[in-house]
Amino acid sequence: MLKSNTFLTTLLLCVFLLSCGSDALEEATPTPSKPEETKAVAVTGLVVRKGKDYADLSGQVNLSSLGLSIEDVEFGIELATNDEFKDAERKPHMEMQDNNFAVRFYRLTPEKLYFYRTYVQTHDQRYLGRLLWFRTEADKEIPPDIHDCVDLGLPSGTLWATMNVGASAPYEIGDYFAWSEIYPFKIQKYDDKSGKYSTDSLTELLPEDDAARANWGPNWTMPTFAQIEELLEECSWGCAYYDDVPGYMVRSTKNANYMFLPFSGYLEDDSRYGKGDEKHGQGCGYYWSKSVYGKEVNSYYGSYYSIAIALYLYPQSYNPPVYTDGGGRGMGYCVRAVRVQRVKR
């Protein structure tokens, strides 16, 4: 059994409160399920939380009657836009507590009706919970752009944000993201089995998978490999402290402008590594690009399918201290956005 985390504990607490009589978050209504319904083994839970493009769905499994453990079966939630579950998306559970679990579905369509149910798959039989439904929230108006950018005089005209996505000041670390995920990092979500960005011809993230655009609006995007390389070549870099936070001061060689990149560290599973502070020293920084890592380059992470290009920042005693390389897509790195609109040179 996997250990529980804060995300799962919060979801399951909501499930308990809902089952005790509150229906403020619950929109699921039971309807007849055409496949076999086996409540004793697979129990479909409530909608714990939902938005315009995501939903947290709960379920329960009871395997004692089968004489099996959770290691012997696959279970999770099936989601579809029809009650016959044609072209359904099946998402296995990530973690569980007791017999309860919760699953998050991303990239849903606003104001759309979805059907879901719990499933349990043994080596020779499939059990299904009752069919429930919910509707996603309406798409709200995009908030005004309140994020600042800086012109470093770069030949491409690229304007860089003055702080990380999720931060409210230049020295704050902000949020961490797994590559191609638009929600802050909770647990490794990237799945190479999907083939997206791996076995297809895509070389950059699509807009719907861009964390900068999703969180800051259509005027922002994650930087490309070329934009990061330009930043490395056209600016001067030096270690510095900003409000007692260590990082790199990136100064323009064309004008008096600059920006600060804090030593953010990175997240892997539930742990953070390499964050700069007084206790652990300067630390290091990890920042995603939107670019896929090329086939022709070998990497510590093995298959190029599992990596994307990132910017790495280390103290100046390292050689090299600042460079680009591949990073495991399931890692939680920071995002420093760039403006979609560029300055004409």
Going along the chain from its start, the domains and CATH numbers come out as 6-135 (2.60.40.10), 149-339 (no CATH)
| Contact (Cβ atoms closer than 8 angstroms) between residue 286 and residue 182 | no
In single-letter form, the type of residue at position 42 comes to A
CA distance linking residue 161 with residue 169, whole number of Å:
11
- Statement: the pTM of the whole predicted model exceeds 0.85: no
Residue found by looking up tokens 């995920």 in the block: 181
| 292 burial type by CB count under 10 A (0-12 exposed, 13-18 middle, 19+ buried) | buried
d(CA 109, CA 131): 20
Q: Tell me if 198 sits within 8 A of 190, measured CB to CB.
A: no
The Cα 102–Cα 285 span in angstroms is 32
In angstroms, the CA 132 to CA 163 distance is: 42
Q: Under a CB-based contact definition with an 8 Å cutoff, are residues 225 and 233 in contact?
A: no
Burial group, residue 259, by CB count within 10 angstroms (0-12, 13-18, 19+): buried
Task: Return the H-helix or E-strand segment holding 9.
Answer: helix 6-19
Question: What does the pLDDT profile of the chain (345 residues) look like in tens digits?
Answer: 334 444 445 444 444 444 443 333 344 544 433 434 444 689 999 898 888 888 889 999 988 878 888 788 899 999 999 999 999 999 988 667 778 888 888 889 999 999 999 999 998 899 999 999 999 988 765 556 779 999 999 999 999 999 999 999 999 999 999 888 888 876 444 444 455 676 677 889 999 899 999 999 899 999 999 999 999 999 999 999 998 889 999 999 999 999 999 999 888 866 677 665 444 446 789 999 999 886 444 444 444 446 889 999 988 778 889 999 988 888 889 999 999 988 887
Contact assessment for residue 3 and residue 91, using Cβ atoms and an 8 Å cutoff: no
Under 8 Å CB-to-CB from 203, ≥6 apart: which residues?
291, 292
pLDDT of residue 199: 64
Question: What does the pLDDT look like over 119-178, one tens digit per residue?
Answer: 999 988 999 999 999 999 887 655 567 799 999 999 999 999 999 999 999 999 999 998
**How far is the C-alpha of 225 from the C-alpha of 56, rounded, in Å?**
34
Distance of CA 124 to the CA centre of its chain: 34
Joined together, the tokens standing for residue 253 give 């060689």
- The helix/strand/coil state of 236 is strand
| pLDDT tens readout for residues 214-249 | 999 899 999 999 999 999 999 999 999 998 889 999
Output DSSP code: residue 331: S
Two structure tokens written together for 254: 């064309």
Backbone angles phi, psi at 166, to 5 degrees: 95, -10
